[in-house]
């Protein structure tokens, strides 16, 4: 496992922070970059922030396996499972799973990031415990 220090706004570039975390993870596992032959990550944000090809180039590796997976916010949760499946199937021997965000360094922080795609939910209040309204009344949540 590798991570950078937690800061609200970092003066360091995102990719530099990401590479620091990756190198720390490799060191923690007793591995070198050249040991890695597979890469997986979340498929919604990471392709824009630090694509697989860029990560491979920064590590100087040749991949036998790479993939992204996106289950809305669960992509990074399922990425290690995808890595384990790739190893079990013989597609790779060492698979790096990485993820990072720089919402704290961006103008508006995480609130600005989520605002354009903020979902609106409709739910049926069956017990009255979901908020205002009567039992069985439809509620719109935003």
Task: Say if pTM beats, i.e. exceeds, 0.85.
Answer: no
∠ CA(27), CA(103), CA(36), 5° rounding? Answer: 25
Query: What DSSP element (H or E) covers 138?
Result: strand 138-141
pLDDT, tens only, 77-114: 888 888 999 999 999 999 999 888 777 666 776 666 66
Position 29 scores a pLDDT of 94
Looking at per-residue pLDDT, the higher value among 75 and 61 belongs to 61
What does the domain layout of the chain look like in residue ranges?
14-103
Give per-residue pLDDT as tens, 53-70. Answer: 999 999 999 899 998 888
Question: Quick one: pLDDT at residue 133?
Answer: 45
Q: Is the pLDDT of residue 17 over 60?
A: yes
- Report the alpha-carbon angle 17-78-32, nearest 5: 45
CATH architecture, domain 14-103:
3-Layer(aba) Sandwich (3.40)
């Amino acid at each position: 496992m590798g991570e950078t220090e937690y800061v609200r706004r970092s003066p360091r570039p995102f990719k530099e922070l990401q590479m620091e975390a990756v190198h720390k993870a490799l060191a923690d596992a007793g591995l070198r970059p050249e040991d890695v032959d597979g890469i997986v990550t979340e498929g919604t944000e990471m392709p824009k922030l630090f694509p697989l090809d860029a990560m491979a180039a920064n590590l100087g590796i040749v991949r036998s396996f790479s993939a992204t997976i996106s289950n809305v916010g669960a992509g990074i949760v399922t990425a290690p499972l995808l890595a384990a499946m790739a190893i079990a199937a013989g597609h790779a021997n060492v698979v790096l799973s990485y993820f990072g965000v720089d919402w704290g360094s961006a103008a508006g922080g995480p609130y600005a990031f989520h605002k354009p795609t903020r979902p609106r939910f409709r739910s049926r209040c069956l017990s009255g415990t979901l908020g205002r309204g009567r039992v069985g009344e439809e509620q719109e949540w935003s």
